[in-house]
Amino acid sequence: MLFHSPFVNAFSIGGYDVKMYGVMMFLAIIFGIFVADFIANKYYKSVDRDILFDFFPLMIISGIVFARLYYVTLNFDYYILHIAEIPAIWHGGISIHGAILGGVLAGIFYFKKHKLPILNYADIISFGLVAAQAVGRWGNFFNSEAFGTPCNLPWKLYIDPRYRPVEYYSCDYFHPTFLYESLWCIFVFFLLFLLLRKFKKYSAGMVFYSYLMLYSIGRFWIESIRIDSVLNISNVPIAQIVSVLIFFIGVIGFHYCYKKIPA
């Protein structure tokens, strides 16, 4: 299967081009909300779904803002010279690590303020988040970004020369790392669902911390073959370093939640 992005613009309104990247982000958010609501309604009967829907706008705004700020910070040398480009998220350039940070900070603020069990809601939102990631990664496909090293596999991705790094200009086909991450997120979703359904000893927070661990494992590997990392430290992509950090946060958090289960 050969992947080749067919177009960048979805449609035009009043002479303004609506990007496929933005459409995919919108669909990802809607799908994530739908999934989280389904999980809450089906498996978390004690949770107030109205509270969940009240929180979603704050979480989405905070997630997008931090996702963009994180990316801009890591590309500071570019954006300090192109200030007008900072809000242009339709051109791509948001980070899931920044989005997770923004969502967590919003959750701490909101649920602490309303004196609600944050980990219960974090578990529910984890399902919606990883489902949204699986959809949202296809925005990278339409933007011809977030691809990996050259390859000639059956599922290779064709990248137009104008989007290729200079050192890979003579290469036509690359690893579709956006696809790898999308598939990994689907896999993580089903593992979380299995944990929810089958784990006999369960406490609030275990799904959320499992999400942090599982997603970080996949992201660490995928980052090793991407060629567009925004920042490297001693030749190690910052996304790999952050993934390791988040993984250990997940391990510690999961252990803490597990210890709270009555013997």
The pLDDT tens digits along the chain (263 residues) read 556 666 777 667 777 777 888 889 999 999 999 999 999 999 998 888 999 999 999 999 999 999 999 989 888 888 888 888 888 776 667 889 999 999 999 999 999 999 998 999 999 999 999 999 999 999 989 888 889 999 999 999 999 898 898 899 999 999 999 999 999 999 999 999 998 887 766 788 999 999 999 999 999 999 999 987 766 777 888 999 999 999 999 999 999 998 887 76
Question: What DSSP string runs through 232-245?
Answer: EETTEEHHHHHHHH
d(CA 235, CA 232): 5
Our CA dihedral for 30, 17, 91, 134, rounded to 10 degrees, sits at: 30
Contact by Cβ (8 Å): 215, 187: no
Is the pTM of the predicted complex or chain greater than 0.85?
yes
Question: What DSSP string runs through 13-24?
Answer: ETTEEEEHHHHH
In this prediction, residue 3 carries a pLDDT of 60
d(CA 192, CA 245): 20
d(CA 3, CA 39): 33
The token pair that represents 227 in the structure block? 């060629």
Contact by Cβ (8 Å): 177, 222: yes
Phi, psi (degrees; rounded to nearest 5) at 68 = -75, -45
Burial class of residue 168, CB neighbours in 10 A (0-12, 13-18, 19+): middle
Question: What DSSP string runs through 151-192?
Answer: ---TT-EE--GGGS-GGGTT--EE--HHHHHHHHHHHHHHHH
d(CA 7, CA 143): 9
DSSP H stretches of helix in the chain: 20-43, 49-74, 76-79, 96-113, 118-136, 138-142, 177-198, 206-223, 238-259
Give the residues across from 13 on adjacent strands: 16
Burial class of residue 43, CB neighbours in 10 A (0-12, 13-18, 19+): middle
The token pair that represents 53 in the structure block? 């829907």
Q: Measuring CA to CA, how many Å separate 208 from each of 10, 60, 80, 101, 186?
A: 34, 17, 36, 13, 15
